[in-house]
Amino acid sequence: MAKLKLSGKELRKIGYPEGPVISVAITVMEQYYKHHSSADALALLEKVLQDPEAFSGDEQLSRIAEKLIVVESSEIALLASPMDYAVYGKEFIEDGAIRQMDYAMRLPVTAAGALMPDAHQGYGLPIGGVLAVRGAVIPYGVGVDIGCRMCLSILDIPAAQLEKNASVFKRELIAGTVFGAGATWKSSLEDEVLSHPAFSEIGLLKHLHAKAAAQLSTSGSGNHFVEWGIVEVNDLPGVMPGLYLGLLSHSGSRGLGAQIAGHYTKVAREVCVLPREVQHLAWLELSSSEGAEYWMAMNLAGDYAAACHHHIHQRLIKAVGAELLGRVENHHNFAWKETHNGEELIVHRKGATPAGAGVLGVIPGSMTAPGFIVRGRGAAASLDSAAHGAGRQMSRSKATQSFTASGLSKLLGEQKVKLIGGGLDEAPGAYKDIFAVMAAQTSLVDVVGSFYPKIVRMADGSGPRED
């Protein structure tokens, strides 16, 4: 007998309201009533809808009933003024980002925060914002591209070979990568992340499994990239100091993460009613079913993003006949359970790099500016965090209006960088000076190596991103 499968459309048709109850109802029915026919399951759901109080004592159906029982809610009040927080490189951070961080520091669940030197205005929490809260998670504090991350592979091929055999590296980079919104890989791949229990336990994710499988090992649009370059290692465990060929990638959890972010942000705004100015900072209590679901889904998206990078790197490393000497990688759109000042907190890093004492990470520059391998110093004021890149200094539309294709081509030629794809919205001038950003965070990280991009692949058309 086929297992039960329900859709939100079917539940809305019988009168279920838009909101978290639909996801909860589908999950409960498909998990505990999977041998019911669709008609019987919908009939039972209709009974719960008509008299939810009658099912408040039922072990399973009470989870649906409690979402249907209307409880009057009022807007949650903010603190009168923002809590103090550290700002790094304040002189080149726009007022809008400061204002957004001030609002975040007025949330009643906030425990601490910090703003990184690459910060710029986003939605809810600014990109470059670090926010620690008690017992809750903020979907937009993580961001739309959950698990967006850096991955750097250091290879055994001499650095000089990159210029000598540039045509080979360019060819394999084109053949081994796919970019863009909705992009899928050429054939199906296997990975343990596709067997993650969240895909079977959360109704939303059941319907995203096929998309996740198809997009595994691909990259998004906007500022996502895969590039060959030269790595200069100064002090890295397991790798002798010197120059090496490197492969660096930047991307996240693709359509899977975007769907998770959109769904749970909507749920959070329904259960956590905040003033208009901070609606995007609505949170989910971790003790709630919605909070637990989001936490599981977020971690799945993070694992999925890592798997995408690893498949790309494995494919390209094999294509050029290299061996892996070392790897440095990190998320910069995520939330972690961490202890600060003796208290367990949920630390959101939206466009910020984990920089606990001894923790390695990668902070990229632009397509013509170097990136840096860093070792965290564990600065308490930054909540063990650092910048995640140079950070934008102008919007995508302004960049498109400010730069020309010929000017970008000339700059790339001067820097001996080959660009495949990309757009004027990603022109190096759209970003802050990475050296100024790094100078503003010497108390947060130590530089232990550098990466110089040489052959860069990006999406042909750039779309809006928030990472």
Could you tell me the domains of the chain? Answer: 8-68 (no CATH), 145-252+302-329+353-458 (3.90.1860.10)
Please state, in angstroms and rounded to a whole number, the distance separating the CA atoms of residues 452 and 434: 13
What pLDDT is attached to residue 410? Answer: 93
Query: Using an 8 Å Cβ cutoff, are 362 and 448 in contact?
Result: no
**C-alpha pair distances (Å), 379 with each of 228, 356, 374, 414, 441:** 32, 7, 14, 38, 10
User: Which residues face 452 on adjacent strands?
Assistant: 230
What pLDDT is attached to residue 330? Answer: 97
Whether pLDDT at 465 is above 70: no
- Average pLDDT score over residue span 403-409: 91
- Average pLDDT score over residue span 126-141: 97
Structure confidence by residue, pLDDT tens digits, 441-450: 999 999 999 9
Structure confidence by residue, pLDDT tens digits, 18-58: 778 898 999 999 999 998 999 999 999 999 998 899 998 99
Confidence of residue 466 (pLDDT cuts 50, 70, 90): very low
- Average pLDDT score over residue span 325-349: 97
What's the alpha-carbon Rg for the chain, to the nearest Å? 23
Confidence of residue 70 (pLDDT cuts 50, 70, 90): low
Query: Using an 8 Å Cβ cutoff, are 349 and 435 in contact?
Result: no
Whether pLDDT at 69 is above 90: no
What pLDDT is attached to residue 3? Answer: 83
What pLDDT is attached to residue 412? Answer: 92
- What is the three-class DSSP state of 337? strand
What pLDDT is attached to residue 123? Answer: 83
Please state, in angstroms and rounded to a whole number, the distance separating the CA atoms of residues 389 and 395: 16
Q: What share of the chain is helix, strand, coil (3-state, %, to 5)?
A: 40, 25, 35
Q: What is the DSSP letter of 373?
A: E
Please state, in angstroms and rounded to a whole number, the distance separating the CA atoms of residues 453 and 124: 32
- Average pLDDT score over residue span 81-90: 97
User: Which residues face 169 on adjacent strands?
Assistant: none
Within 10 angstroms of residue 57's Cβ, the number of other Cβ atoms is: 9
Give the least confident one: 68-77, 401-410, 421-430: 68-77
What pLDDT is attached to residue 394? Answer: 85
Query: Which helix (H) or strand (E) covers residue 385, if one does?
Result: strand 385-387
What pLDDT is attached to residue 137? Answer: 98
What pLDDT is attached to residue 1? Answer: 56
What pLDDT is attached to residue 464? Answer: 39
Structure confidence by residue, pLDDT tens digits, 32-42: 999 899 999 99
What pLDDT is attached to residue 277? Answer: 85
**C-alpha pair distances (Å), 311 with each of 52, 151, 315:** 47, 11, 6
Whether pLDDT at 467 is above 70: no
Task: Give all strands (DSSP E) within 82-224, no chain letters.
Answer: 86-87, 110-120, 127-133, 136-137, 149-155
Helices (H), 365-404: 396-402
- Average pLDDT score over residue span 215-227: 95
pTM of the predicted protein model: 0.84
What pLDDT is attached to residue 462? Answer: 46
- Average pLDDT score over residue span 378-407: 92
Confidence of residue 377 (pLDDT cuts 50, 70, 90): very high
Mean pLDDT of the chain: 93
**Which is more confidently placed, 443 or 467?**
443
